Structure 1
């Protein structure tokens, strides 16, 4: 028996590992048990990454190389390298979209956070990074258990340009600075900040000017986005630049559409010159799935598939989501359209990322994060963070009276009505996985009061009034009525843009009839990714309050109930403008212009350029208390130093404006100290937004967000908040040629109702050369 003890202990230890990790993953490469490959130079952790990549490239044949240029990269058995699936997603939790992730067994689910548009409404960069950290913990755990990859094609940081876009829900909203800050924060959480060591590899997508899926007969595969140099630099590229330069993302994905006649995945100016050249991407560029095939087969950009493969690789594409490069790159080399060094450059970029992920370091269990397993997925702490994120993202749009919060004593019976009233899967939006569990709105409210539940409509399409009578009767019986209405993925989704902004079907009719019958306050809760024109509800005095929940994630129902009953003081702000339906008149989604043009009756897009009526402005969001701002200290004059070698009389836009690349920007910032007082009777967290209005001139935005911050202030208390505004980054504008400049003159800073003016002056140093 004593002789058998070591063997029994080994079996016991193996079973423990199996319980902790599911199916324990074998090494991807460089297995220390494989004597033939373990000592090859590319397996030596002590060697510089560039040397390891060079050694591996030198051992691969051309045929092997091209089969590594696609998402389902082939194995190289003779070198001990397994096949790898690059395509996994983690937009707001580990997703089951993409073949790289498999739920089941030891990993039945993962924490499903609110959809990105809802999380963006928190305006909390610390929260965004923390969510990324939790998602990457769960992703690494699933990788260790053989259930996922390490390369995640998230986040989506496209600008929510048009309110009809079906994928706007995936984005951080319409403001470039918010989207860029979100990108950098979430990526840091996913990847970690340990230099060349990656926890997982994130990817910012879809580059660039991609925000139309299928509208009025135009789809993303056939769309050529005509975009000015000004709008590319001022709006569409900003989040991607911040993702690369501030977030150090490991990947960028090019999009399906053409931009000014060139497919983005075949444009060297966008890929090689901008992403890798100007922004210094340390990572790889990947196509959206089958984009290379699309620009050959659908857009007919090249005459032969070999030319398409060559154009993509020479433009700077490193990896194809799809089979195209594996099928045609070798022939492109043989025909002289591409040389093997081009293939080496592309493959080298993906191999570097795999090495940074530890995939060539031998046993996964011996690496950093190698101890993560099933017990690190859906933990109580992770699920609590999902609840907290939902609470922070809910936006109180209206509160007449006030009608909210509801009272435990006066509102003991609540009618919960609407097609989203008992929603579960709807709450997690798209690009989601399998949630750990759900708390629906009905379940959340039931924790506070006795409920009477009626759907009112069979689904969000609400095609008839068959279920109206039950809903009306419920409202008559209850002390308060909560209508949970809105949209779902049948109305707005990938490849499904909306036709208008009104509630679908007969939802408005249901709301009005239930409201008329209700004997208590009526609260309207809206689930949606995009804005909805609910002007009728805003203007109806019988509807006491309106709450936008977005798609609030697995704990959304609990968060909604917490806000309705005042356990949570709402703090979210809208990350996009809510327009009236009339805004869409004569406004095709295919018109990419951002700025208004009275000459052609074009209203402009987003709060930065639109001047017309809105239902709720960008940044709108009420609280159960009242916050008052005052500026404790702020400069009135800031001097910008300009190198005299660049100074000339042409540095003007209706007055003097200095090119950013001619200014000495390193330490030029505006420091504000703002006192935030809670003048109400309830503790609350305030979301402070700082806007700038540049000096007047053509082509400048109406205003632009330059900073945001969160601060918790007890009732009756006051907190001082420091804000630092980098002048070159945030007070600059872009001229019609796409050149970023800093207007010299008076910039008005707006914080709530407080305005502070700062005069920017230019000081020229050195000898002026003409």
Structure 2
């Protein structure tokens, strides 16, 4: 009987504590005291707030700002019971009122502006009459096409300013689970719009710059103790790792087991995350739903604890994609786990925060059952509350307290969104200099197509409420008189009944602009593509309108992934093609500015545009990047695919022309080896020259001493000012088996006035830029004749790597 009473009392105490925790106050809506129902706070450690709670703040060392974060966080954790602790390690941290700890909602999104995507019943970020909107920048795939690192960082800075302003107004959190930095391995992937494309180096460079823009506070970008470095907001690089299948022909992300070689993991799938952590100093990494070689990504200690926290030294926390712990049990059926087993395995693997409720519901039981130590939970809490300390959640952030409603949707941010959209436009075709259109000659334009009056489609997914929309129709109307005809009801274009009115409009206009493409009904999260074609009757719309148009026809494509528009590329009646991606709230203005020459396009494709037959060559679920000869599968991405394309990675035209010349270059690197540095073998194709010392482990080299410098002069030989993206590729020594065809190792965007020139300098670390990963997972620097290729084979030169043994 005594045992029964003890159990009953324990249950009642647990329920009481849980109820108390779940009703704990958040900072945005603190109304703890009946006399202060409308009082709000922007920091936990406010004396008046503690007084409202009936507490004395001086009794709590975690609020003593004179102490180190280590001491303060330990004091906070030590005050909690086990039950209270587990209530803080889900995305809804319920707080502990009895010790003054406020609740906190960890989930906010800022992929390309502040989003109101989040937990459906309690959004950390939201819009209403107080904050009706936030600036919606172009989707990352479009912004990446600018290949402008300073632009990427500036967008991050603008987004974090709006985030801080909204936080002050009680309308946003401080932790944002963005950006998405998965490499687009397959052109069918539905989430391509969220990503920086198919090249790991570009993806990682974008990640580091955007994260720095979100997180860094000017003047204190680096500190002696990175774990105490103040943050503007906290970013998160996701989804780690080998995640790029959402829902393809019945195969979905919550069941998929990605079978990946160690070579592809290191070279492609985890490389951007390493750059995000090491170069961007991101405060969070999110693990993905899928399994990798049989093990759920969120329960793999090698991926999480050993790599992210150990090898890369993450200064922050690791979070699961939402409900990933539950997915391990319900979908992966991993080891036939019970909830407590899955929770304990995830905690021991290094997963600090569960986006979901499995940690909060089962972690205490897992401790009681002896499946995990309470210390593991303490460690997770330490990682989490260190981040909140750095964000000023406890002490406030005076530097940002003045930000308010006027800092959201500011004119400066809207212009930045417009400029980002302009820079992300990629000119794919311009026959005989058709573009830019001349306002003296073009007085009337027919604007047709399913995206001609696009608004919501321009901002893609993970978007909030934009400040305003400027549709293509709106933007073009500022340059000429417009006659609008839909052509299709929507992008699916299931019938051709509206094609004839579009043809009639084209017959009477000085120029015709067809705005076509796809949208979230075709490519989206949880929706992969099954083909690379324009849907429905869009092809017929373009061909038939082009056949009867009075003036030049320009096709504008809105999409994230590539579309096989070879029919339009080869159609002599289509004079120009412009890819606009998903250009954000100001997309229509940017399109018009480019077409009419206010801005000279300089964007480059961050994805290969494959021919439609590519999808018939291999299943989306085949993970290898290199060709699988035994199955007849081609390679993936520009690094390993050598077939014909609609448009290659890095392609993009301008209204002017550029020439390159090499002004200086180091063409060889002689590295002296000691007796402890041993040569490593490499596989070569038959008949290829094999050096005496094929390669050296990069970890055995003093890589910081092995730098190469190049300087390129870029001349604008045309009559229009313009920006040029100088893209630097590396080609490995001939004959090395399974090495990439070429690989991007650097890029810079430079503005060059007509008739002028600019010098661009590159400094490369040989180990990072000229190294390879072999099939055994070793990072190696090969010897022999490497090649540096600038642009689309506009300029190239050899670089020799020589190893010399010193006794």
Q: Determine if the TM-score, normalized by the shorter chain, exceeds 0.5.
A: yes
User: Following the alignment from structure 1 to structure 2, what is the Cα–Cα distance between the partners of residues 764 and 24?
Assistant: 73
Structure 1 residues 314, 633: CA separation in 2 closer, same or farther (over 3 Å shift)? same
User: Following the alignment from structure 2 to structure 1, what is the Cα–Cα distance between the partners of residues 443 and 650?
Assistant: 33
Describe the SS at the equivalent of 1:721: strand
- The residue that corresponds to 1:311 in the other structure is 345
- The residue that corresponds to 1:747 in the other structure is 786
User: Following the alignment from structure 2 to structure 1, what is the Cα–Cα distance between the partners of residues 293 and 805?
Assistant: 38
CA distances 1:575-622 after superposition (whole Å, capped 9, x unpaired): 010000011113111100000133321101000001111110000000
- The residue that corresponds to 2:7 in the other structure is none
- The residue that corresponds to 1:324 in the other structure is 358
Describe the SS at the equivalent of 1:344: helix
Structure 1 residues 641, 551: CA separation in 2 closer, same or farther (over 3 Å shift)? farther
- Equivalent in 518, 523, 526 of residue 487 of structure 1: 518
Q: How does 1:417-436 map to 2 (within 5 A)?
A: 417-436=448-467
Q: CA deviation at 1:764?
A: 4.7
- The residue that corresponds to 2:622 in the other structure is 591
Describe the SS at the equivalent of 2:399: coil
User: Following the alignment from structure 2 to structure 1, what is the Cα–Cα distance between the partners of residues 681 and 544?
Assistant: 64
- The residue that corresponds to 1:15 in the other structure is none
8 Å contact 2:181–2:195 — kept in the other structure?
yes
User: Following the alignment from structure 1 to structure 2, what is the Cα–Cα distance between the partners of residues 597 and 219?
Assistant: 23
- Equivalent in 380, 404, 419 of residue 346 of structure 1: 380
- The residue that corresponds to 2:743 in the other structure is 704
- The residue that corresponds to 1:689 in the other structure is 727
User: Following the alignment from structure 1 to structure 2, what is the Cα–Cα distance between the partners of residues 599 and 293?
Assistant: 37
- The residue that corresponds to 1:762 in the other structure is 803
8 Å contact 1:31–1:37 — kept in the other structure?
no
User: Following the alignment from structure 1 to structure 2, what is the Cα–Cα distance between the partners of residues 104 and 382?
Assistant: 20
8 Å contact 1:28–1:81 — kept in the other structure?
no
- The residue that corresponds to 1:298 in the other structure is 331
Q: CA deviation at 1:368?
A: 2.5
CA distances 1:699-735 after superposition (whole Å, capped 9, x unpaired): 1100000100011111111111111112111111110
Describe the SS at the equivalent of 1:42: helix
CA distances 1:620-641 after superposition (whole Å, capped 9, x unpaired): 0000000000000001112335
- Equivalent in 21, 30, 38 of residue 57 of structure 2: 38
- The residue that corresponds to 1:67 in the other structure is 87
Q: How does 1:138-157 map to 2 (within 5 A)?
A: 138-157=162-181
- Equivalent in 55, 61, 67 of residue 75 of structure 2: 55
8 Å contact 2:42–2:393 — kept in the other structure?
yes
CA distances 1:413-441 after superposition (whole Å, capped 9, x unpaired): 00000010010111011111110001110
**Is 1:171 the equivalent of 2:195?**
yes
Q: CA deviation at 1:648?
A: 4.3
CA distances 1:481-508 after superposition (whole Å, capped 9, x unpaired): 0000001111110000011000001100
Q: How does 1:608-647 map to 2 (within 5 A)?
A: 608-642=639-673, 644-647=675-678
Describe the SS at the equivalent of 1:445: helix
CA distances 1:146-203 after superposition (whole Å, capped 9, x unpaired): 0010000000000011111110110000000000000000000000153410110000
- The residue that corresponds to 1:198 in the other structure is 231
Structure 1 residues 712, 556: CA separation in 2 closer, same or farther (over 3 Å shift)? same
| CA RMSD after TM alignment | 1.3
8 Å contact 2:435–2:595 — kept in the other structure?
yes
**Is 1:463 the equivalent of 2:494?**
yes
- Equivalent in 116, 138, 144 of residue 96 of structure 1: 116
Bigger mean CA offset, 399-408 vs 222-231: 399-408
Q: How does 1:459-608 map to 2 (within 5 A)?
A: 459-608=490-639
Unaligned residue ranges in structure 2 (runs of 5+): 1-37, 224-228, 685-689
Describe the SS at the equivalent of 2:334: coil
Structure 1 residues 111, 640: CA separation in 2 closer, same or farther (over 3 Å shift)? farther
Bigger mean CA offset, 187-196 vs 93-102: 187-196
- The residue that corresponds to 2:313 in the other structure is 280
Unaligned residue ranges in structure 1 (runs of 5+): 1-22
- State the number of aligned residues: 741
- The residue that corresponds to 1:666 in the other structure is 704
8 Å contact 1:577–1:614 — kept in the other structure?
yes
Q: CA deviation at 1:747?
A: 1.1
**Is 1:256 the equivalent of 2:289?**
yes
- The residue that corresponds to 1:19 in the other structure is none
- The residue that corresponds to 2:279 in the other structure is 246
- The residue that corresponds to 2:252 in the other structure is 219
User: Following the alignment from structure 2 to structure 1, what is the Cα–Cα distance between the partners of residues 136 and 679?
Assistant: 55
User: Following the alignment from structure 1 to structure 2, what is the Cα–Cα distance between the partners of residues 247 and 581?
Assistant: 37
Describe the SS at the equivalent of 2:433: coil
User: Following the alignment from structure 2 to structure 1, what is the Cα–Cα distance between the partners of residues 682 and 703?
Assistant: 16
- Equivalent in 759, 763, 766 of residue 724 of structure 1: 763
8 Å contact 2:493–2:536 — kept in the other structure?
yes
CA distances 1:720-755 after superposition (whole Å, capped 9, x unpaired): 111111211111111001111111111111113111
TM-score, normalization by structure 1: 0.95
TM-score, normalization by structure 2: 0.90
